[in-house]
Amino acid sequence: MERTLVILKPGTLQRGLVGEVISRFEKRGLKLVAMKMKQLTPEILDVHYAHLKNKPFFPWLRDGMMAAPVILCCWEGFEAVRVVREMAGATNARNAAPGTIRADYSLSAQENVVHTSDSVENAAIELDRFFVPEDYCEYSSPLNQYIYAPDEK
């Protein structure tokens, strides 16, 4: 099973949307295997968003990600990276497809509710940035037989 990072951004916490967003991933059948609240720092954001450091909007992005704590989540499931990205929708929420998290809860390219890993490789890097092995909880669910076919486990 793949694992992927989802960061519920400060606006999600401030707007009281944490439960709704988490519920959407749970209802889809993804398994929450790690979660914690953290106040992000400039140092970690400079690393996390290194690919955006030279963009004119980077200072706003960094400040926005430090406006309040974030909720860091590791979701696990078959093709979890792709599934989570599709559920999140386009980065610019104004372009996100109806029914996606960003379309339902945002109108912004920056204040867009969630950060999601964009590839299996980046998911591994990002998860290592925010979680240590002891943070992960291994457990089985009797519902898996209703979520996955035998060849998808």
Positions marked active-site: 115
Kindly state the greatest CA–CA separation across the chain: 48
Token couple for 69: 């704590």
Q: Which of 138, 152, 153, 143 is nearest to 28 (CA)?
A: 143
Q: Which of 30, 34, 22 is nearest to 152 (CA)?
A: 30
Token couple for 120: 């299996």
Token couple for 123: 């998911």
